[in-house]
Amino acid sequence: MTTPGAAKAGDPVISIRGVSMSYGGRRVLDRVDLDVCRGEILVLLGGSGSGKTTLLKHVLGLAKPEAGSITMNGVDITRCSQSELSAVRRRIGVAFQGGALFNSMSVEENVALPLRELTRLADSTIKLVVWLNLIAVGLSDAGSLYPPELSGGMRKRAAVARAMALDPEILILDEPSAGLDPIVSAGLDELILFLKRSFGVTVLVVTHELKSAFHIADRVAMLYQGRLIAVDKKEQFAGHAHPRIRQFLDGQPDARPRVATDEFIASYLRGSKT
């Protein structure tokens, strides 16, 4: 799919420049700059409310930023036409947090959907591609099941299979390990590494799971209150001195909120008796 010469490892495939966004007067993204380079796995870390979901929506072209640009494969998706956006999206595979599988279709049909709708492949070819994708994610015997019958881990795998159906250059995963037990989550991490190794796909993962982040990442970026406070190779990132990053990595709570002390309660009870 790529033009010759442009497909060098290390080139930025997604470059986010100065993206800002606010909802109802609150800054959700504040001048975010980030590059995702070809062939790497970039993990975007951040706590709840850090703006990582919002940033993801912008990268997918589902929301337009107030300021800044997002360039994918040389096309600025914040300013391009609908048809250009569609062309860019054809090269992206996305696995949403809950899988976003269509409940009225079986797993096979879900994976086949983008192939049937967007390509002119023959049915037999589509069947083969679906089967290969399901094998790749380890769901070859679950093709005829429907999404409600799947476990959380299987649903995520099915979503990855659907995301991989059109052989994308970029795979975007939203919270792949959220709500999964450690074993299933580790299996999914292996799957991501496998996809990168065997298909050379560029992966952007949005998560708050540290263990899986450091296992799979080439580089780690961290969002805090809408600002990108660090982007680094994972080895350097682990030693980062920023207090927020230390807090996040060490799993420390925020400063203790004001709560009623025992003395206060006792004095209150004494007061109410008299």
Partner 1 sequence: MTLLEQVGRAAIVQVEDAGALAMQFWSVFWKLPRVLPVVGARRRWRSAVEQMLAIGASALPMAGAMALCTGFILALQSASELRRFGAVELVVEVVVIGFTRELGPLVTALTVSGRSASAISAEIGTMVVTEEIDALRVMGLDPVEFTLAPKYLAALITVPCLTVLSTLFGMFAGYLFLAFSMDMSLRIYFQAVAEAILLRDVFFGLVKSLVFATIIVHVGCLEGLRVRGGPEAVGHSTTAAVVKSTFLIILADLGTTAIFYLLGWSSTR
For residue 1, the minimal CB distance to partner 1 (Å) is: 15
Q: Which of residues 99-128 bind partner 1 (CB under 8 A)?
A: 99-102, 113-114, 116-118
For residue 16, the minimal CB distance to partner 1 (Å) is: 17
For residue 34, the minimal CB distance to partner 1 (Å) is: 19
Part of the chain binding partner 1 (CB under 8 A), chosen from 1-9, 87-95, 132-140, 257-265: 87-95
Q: Which of residues 8-67 bind partner 1 (CB under 8 A)?
A: 57, 60-62
80 binds partner 1 (CB under 8 A): no
Nearer to partner 1, 87 or 238 (CB): 87
For residue 89, the minimal CB distance to partner 1 (Å) is: 5
89 binds partner 1 (CB under 8 A): yes
Among 14, 43, 92, 139, binds partner 1 (CB under 8 A): 92
- Parallel, antiparallel or unpaired: strands 41-46 and 219-224: parallel
152 binds partner 1 (CB under 8 A): no
Q: Is 16 exposed, middle or buried (0-12, 13-18, 19+ CB in 10 A)?
A: buried
Please state, in angstroms and rounded to a whole number, the distance separating the CA atoms of residues 249 and 9: 30
Residues that bind partner 1 (CB under 8 A): 57, 60-62, 86, 89-90, 92, 94, 96-102, 113-114, 116-118
